[in-house]
Chains A and B, each alone.
Chain A
Amino acid sequence: MSTSREWVGRRLGTVPGGGEDGDGAFQVVGKAMPRVDAVSKVTGATVYADDLSFPGTLHCVLLRSPLPHARIRCIDVQEAAGLPDVVAVLTGAAMPTRFGVSPSSEEEQALAADKVRYVGEPVAAVAARDEATAREACKMIQVDYELLEPVTSIDQALEVPMDEPIHAASKDGNVHRLASLEFGDVDEGFAASDHVREDVFFYEGSNHLAMEEHSATAIFSDGQLTVWSSTQSPHSVHRALSSVLGLPMRRVRVVATPHGGGFGGKVDPCSHEIVVAKLAMITGRPVKCTLTREEVFYNHRGRHPVLMWVRTGVTQDGRIRAMHFRTALDGGAHASLGAATTYYTGALQPATYDLPAYRFEGCRVFTNKAPCGPKRGHGTPQPRFALELHLDKLAEDLGMDPVELRRRNYVRPNSRTVNGLRITSCAIEKVTDEVLAASGFSRRERRDGHGQGFAVSAYLCGAGTPMYLNRMPHSEVSLKVDRGGVTVFCGATDIGQGSDTVLATLVAEELGLERGDVRLVTGDTGLTPVDLGSYSSRVTFMAGNAAIEAARKMRATLVAAAAEHSGSRPAEMTVAGGKIGPLSFEQAVAAAEERYGTLGSVGSYAPPPSISASKYRGSAVGPSPAFSYSAAVVDLDADRVSGEVRVNKVWIAHDIGRALNPVLVRGQVEGGVYMGLGEALMEAQAYRNGLLHHPSVLEYKTPLSSDMPEIEQLLVEQPDPEGPYGAKEVGQGPLLPVVPAVVSAIHDALGVWVDEVPVTPEKILRALDAHAKGSDPRTGPRSFPEIPYPPCEKVALPDAASATL
């Protein structure tokens, strides 16, 4: 990108400002500027969770299960408790209340009391003067286990359990959740198709590998509990702490510390957050727990491994008449957000392609592995991978250009999908055009070992429904303005994506200030109004709209006071450049304080009900106030002899609505592309004999700087009618098309399909070997298991009236 940009010197302490690009209509919106916390980040001044220290802090270490599945007969902590400098030892008996990130998933205990369900599940905790002592004491805790047969695969989870199900409540073996939905008449659609094709795909699970290991510190004093944690959702932690510890929410404060990366791995409330709180209550001292890297892999909540089967009927001219999509998710040992994940594996297919009839059957099983949960793209990269490759194959069957086949089925702006989703702004055509033009995909050089692949995708701008059913706002902002300055209070947490910068930008724009004039208090449940958390790419859209509402109210107040003060009409007042009409901002504030007393304004956001037109089981998953679209072309070389792949370049076009700050947007796009490449080629949370295969940064492979290709980004700005200044999400969407585009490019290069990620060299060679032997030139799953899906709930198509947008 901008390496040609001339050097601009700035001085430490000055607020980064200036900026370039952008739309002349705005003062700060749309300008490429550093993030508001950039100076702290580059000087090491940012205080992350593990950087905090309070006087007299005790250090906590968790004892984790060495067994994948076992009943706990008894736990003897006597020896550990007697070790000098050990202050408290805790077991699950002290915290029997079960919790979970959503009400349907409240089955976890902070420390397992009755049984352990995966290697690494916390069973006891020690608080000691230092970490080394706590760790030593943990080794002295005796746990008497009764072994149970572990369940380690989807197939096994569908069988009758040898000993007992992982969770007593599971039906059909270890099935956690089943979904069966039918929109439109699928059988009729297949009957009317000229060609029907079936494929099976597998997408391996992966960890977020955020560079910061989770950390939390708790203090209990004067009847109030405060927990500082590297969480993406202080609100979820707040709820879990309150319920497990039996404290009213008003007695609990959760502060989200500056974040060393989340990607979904810090959305769930975690054991260590609850344990440090309980230990702080028991000991009366601050208690801290920082997980080791390996423990982060056990805590997991990462990408679900998903096996997929898809069947699609098309007409000779490439119109899809019906699609049937089946998924089987290996959920690991706990529910986490897995019910939602299950529905997400089926929800967004119709948000990209106009499917006249669609049947989705999903199934999530429990296995004795670290719990899966939300990771960037939550439940949608897997079906996206399957769907895009499936379409490539259909195109090949029809002898049609794969891009053309897609175009014939693209969703249209301002339409309603078969599953009731409202599509408003939609730049799917444009992102396709841009990425094709830039990459020269259709004119690509055809030679053995070199290939390009194309794919598109859609993603949400925030889940339309909260994680627990309620009709309160999803995001709330309050604004304090007085002679002391401007402060925004918002529960949103900046996990590195730059949500603080977005809030400052929007409020500054509305009040005619610079971003540095806006003070931010965010992600602190004791001080800030509720925001549900940084997940599902919701923050810019939701907190952004809430901030705009609060700022506009404040602006009206200031304008009114300034007009009165200066004897002009409010309509004549301009708000810009630190002035409100003829008054300076400070004068206007003083006038408003004189006139109205304390100044404050609030704003909130909840998506409009029209985003979803149908009600069915699972209909909470999928609707969103807007969808963003991405298209990617990947160019690579694949070696026929070694199976090694070298990605040369990635072009990615993203439908951003409006780039509130191109620096942040580009950062999210390139990060998404990178993570997509990682999942396509390397990343795997894999197991061997029930144990994690790669529980380290070295062995859990992710691309390094020297493995990364150049990335060319094309931002498509077609403002969304409801987004803040037209902005849409960028945090997750750009990952999605990259994974199928890689595999498609490998096929382009070598003529074989690897229907399973990550694509290792060996998988490529296996497909080539098969090809050489004259069998199916493909590596990937052969079949999809028999799953006891219930009869489909037939969902009526959105009628004309409800389809009104």
Chain B
Amino acid sequence: MLRLRVNGETYETLTESNETLLEILRERLGLTGTKHGCELGECGACTVLLDGTPVLACLVLPDQIDDAEVTTVEGLADGSVLHPLQEAFMALGASQCGYCTAGMLLSAKALLDEQPDPTREEIRAALAGNVCRCTGYASIVDAVALAAKAPKGAR
């Protein structure tokens, strides 16, 4: 029995040792907001936060995460209040097909948590492991920059 803290909730679930965090989130816990585009660490679609740090869920074994708190896209909004990044992504069209969005949002959140006022180069660098085929990254970089301007309380 695996105990996992995800988005502030505690889950207990049966798993096999060879299931990755990605499989557990999607298939055991029904948290399908976390996506997959390669399962080999190459696309960033499965990015989640472990104690606030972005990791690729497709390459994380439950045995490796100890008591870390997992944050997925489902846990980004505060109740019914969207995270400023989510609002900025909406406002600027940074989510088109939306498939890379969860990973982008979480990579961006980690960046803003650490560096509240990043330059565009810093934003580009922080997202460099998240592939997006729709946006050309322009609106995504814009959205992260916009979210950085949100009143601090909003994050």
Q: B-contacting residues of A (Cβ < 8 Å)?
A: 1-3, 5-13, 16, 34-35, 37-48, 50-51, 208-213, 258-263, 292-293, 495-498, 663-664, 666-667, 670-675, 696-698, 702, 704-706, 708, 710-711
Contact = CB atoms under 8 A, between A and B. Distances in A.
B110 interface: no
Nearest to A698: B42
B90 A666 contact: no
A260 B127 contact: no
B17 interface: no
B128 A705 contact: yes
A293 B106 CA distance: 23
Given A12-B80, A211-B43, A48 B138 contact: no
A670 B101 contact: no
Size category of the binding interface on chain B:
35 or more
B82 A11 contact: yes
B15 interface: no
A41 B92 CA distance: 13
Across the A-B interface, the 5 shortest Cβ-Cβ residue pairs: A44-B33, A496-B97, A674-B136, A260-B99, A41-B98
Nearest to A45: B33
A675 B87 CA distance: 26
A489 B70 CA distance: 39
Interface string B102-117: 1001000000000000
5 contacts: A3-B145, A42-B98, A260-B98, A496-B134, A706-B124
Given A7-B146, A496-B98, A671-B136, A211 B37 contact: yes
B138 A261 contact: no
B138 A711 contact: yes
Contact of B82 (A1, A12, A672): A12
B4 to A, nearest CB: 17
Contact of A210 (B39, B40, B123, B133): B133
Given A260-B98, A293-B37, A670-B136, A43 B142 contact: no
Given A212-B37, A698-B42, A671 B32 contact: no
Contacts of B40: 293, 696-698
A17 to B, nearest CB: 11
B47 interface: no
Contact of A704 (B32, B87, B128, B154): B128
Interface string B136-155: 11111110011001110010
**Residue of A38, A39, A45, A211 with most partner-chain B CB within 10 A:** A211
B69 to A, nearest CB: 17
A619 B37 CA distance: 39
B26 to A, nearest CB: 7
B132 A38 contact: no
Contact of A697 (B33, B74, B131, B135): B131
Nearest to B129: A704
A42 B136 contact: no
A764 to B, nearest CB: 24
B97 A12 contact: no
A495 B97 contact: yes
A642 B123 CA distance: 28
B81 interface: yes
B97 to A, nearest CB: 3
Contacts of A6: 149
A16 B93 CA distance: 12
Contacts of B124: 705-706, 708
B136 A673 contact: yes
A672 B40 CA distance: 27
B13 interface: no
Interface string B1-45: 000000000000000000000000010000111111111101101
Given A11-B80, A260-B35, A675 B105 contact: no
Interface string B41-80: 0110100000000000000000000000000111011011
B38 A293 contact: yes
B137 A497 contact: no
A213 B36 contact: yes
A276 B105 CA distance: 34
Given A8-B87, A705-B132, 6 more contacts: A7-B146, A10-B82, A211-B131, A696-B38, A702-B131, A708-B138
Nearest to B100: A211
